[in-house]
């Protein structure tokens, strides 16, 4: 009611405006990113006197925007965990990098408890080619992962010049945009690793008054509110940040597992027996490297053994199981592919 009265009267003293902001800030603690809707109101409150004065329109707009966001102010501590750790970084030499690694619940809960201490810094397991760790102040948390466990999901070149803090905030926004592409990743507790303490502090606090990153952090807060994320941000030194390499244009991706039939294709192509047996088992849907001389025969085999009456299917399956797989002519006569 006080906010509605203020929007109608448009006059207030410093004490009255401070009382309204105190109540709104208390509600905003349920979801700190909503605090990013406030900016000019703090400066106006400090400059006002004890006498009632006209409240500027931009202050009223900020208050009404916050009122519109109040349905999003919830603190559900029972929401599930994001089953991956997100690391972001930015570089003035190239652009932005985002890396992710799968993690189980125990590791995520331990990181979340460590995030309660502002002095915590995350250390990764080191490999022989990693940069040596530098001495830094704070409580170290040993994450049981190497940089090789992270895969690069974004390595994008920047298209504009900006302050390094603004670039770091933009990289954080890119990481959240990548996460929120999948609906299954909404409404989760998410662990994020950053190596920029200004952006880290702004993300923990929910807002910032720094003009270099204020706009970018508002965009980040909008993404967090829209995705109903509960963010646990931690500091990771640059030498341990897995997103440092992709932010400089060096991409690290997971190796894809090779299929069971692909090695035959790399050693001179699939044999006719392998093609026919595989097609009899899996059907006519084949990758391009397996389509060739014996494809029509295998298709007819699959058709005869998977369609028609049950007696017909069993008859043809027994016939093909006992036939000579090395004789393409006999297979053609049995399958009818040569008709």
State pLDDT tens for residues 148-164: 999 999 999 999 899 99
Q: By three-state DSSP, how is residue 321 classified?
A: helix
Residues 6+ apart with CB under 8 A from 319: 334
Return d(Cα 218, Cα 232) in angstroms, integer.
Answer: 17
Return d(Cα 212, Cα 167) in angstroms, integer.
Answer: 10
Residue 307 has what pLDDT?
Answer: 62
Instruction: From residue 329, give the alpha-carbon distance in Å to each of 137, 216, 272.
Output: 77, 69, 12
Q: Are 90 and 167 in contact (CB under 8 A)?
A: yes
**Where is 301: in which H helix or E strand?**
helix 295-306
Nearest to 79 by CA among 187, 228, 171: 187
- Please state the pTM of the whole predicted model: 0.72
Nearest to 210 by CA among 192, 196, 222, 189: 196
Show pLDDT as tens, one digit a residue, over the chain (339 residues). 678 778 888 888 888 898 889 999 999 998 999 999 999 898 888 888 888 888 889 999 999 999 999 888 887 878 899 999 999 999 999 999 999 999 998 999 999 999 999 899 999 998 888 888 888 999 999 999 999 999 999 999 999 899 999 999 999 999 999 999 999 999 999 999 999 999 999 999 999 999 999 999 999 999 999 999 999 999 999 999 999 999 999 886 655 555 444 444 443 444 555 555 555 555 544 444 344 444 455 556 556 656 666 666 666 666 655 655 455 455 555 545 444
pLDDT tens per residue, range 114-148: 999 989 999 999 888 888 888 899 999 999 999 99
- What one-character DSSP code corresponds to residue 324? -
Residue 13's CB is within 10 A of a number of other CB atoms, namely 14
């Amino acid at each position: 009611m006080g906010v509605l009265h203020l929007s109608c009267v448009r006059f207030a003293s410093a004490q009255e405006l401070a009382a309204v902001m105190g109540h709104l800030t208390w509600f905003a603690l349920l979801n700190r990113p909503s605090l990013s809707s406030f900016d000019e109101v703090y400066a106006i409150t400090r400059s006002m006197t004890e006498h009632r004065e006209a409240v500027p329109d931009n202050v009223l707009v900020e208050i009404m925007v916050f009122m519109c966001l109040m349905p999003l102010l919830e603190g559900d501590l029972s929401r599930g965990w994001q089953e991956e750790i997100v690391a972001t970084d930015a570089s003035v030499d190239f652009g932005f990098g985002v890396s992710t690694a799968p993690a189980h619940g125990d590791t995520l809960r331990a990181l979340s408890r460590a995030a309660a201490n502002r002095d915590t810094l995350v250390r990764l397991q080191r490999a022989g080619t990693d940069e040596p760790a530098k001495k830094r102040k704070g409580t170290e948390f040993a994450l049981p992962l190497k940089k090789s466990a992270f895969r690069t999901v974004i390595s994008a070149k920047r298209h504009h010049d900006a302050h390094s803090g603004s670039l770091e905030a933009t990289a954080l926004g890119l990481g959240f945009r990548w996460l929120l592409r999948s609906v299954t990743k909404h409404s989760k507790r998410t662990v994020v690793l950053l190596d920029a303490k200004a952006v880290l502090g702004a993300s923990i606090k929910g807002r910032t008054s720094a003009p270099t990153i204020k706009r970018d952090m508002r965009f980040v807060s909008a993404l967090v509110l829209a995705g109903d994320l509960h963010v646990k941000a931690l500091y990771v030194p640059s030498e341990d940040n897995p997103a440092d390499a992709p932010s400089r244009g060096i991409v690290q991706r997971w190796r894809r597992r090779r299929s069971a039939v692909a090695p035959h294709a790399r050693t001179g192509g699939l044999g006719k027996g392998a093609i026919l047996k595989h097609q009899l088992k899996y059907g006519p849907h084949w990758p391009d490297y397996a389509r060739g001389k014996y494809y029509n025969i295998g298709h007819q085999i699959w058709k005869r053994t998977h369609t028609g009456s049950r007696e017909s299917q069993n008859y043809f399956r027994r016939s093909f199981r006992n036939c000579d797989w090395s004789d393409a002519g006999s297979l053609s006569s049995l399958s009818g592919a040569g008709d």
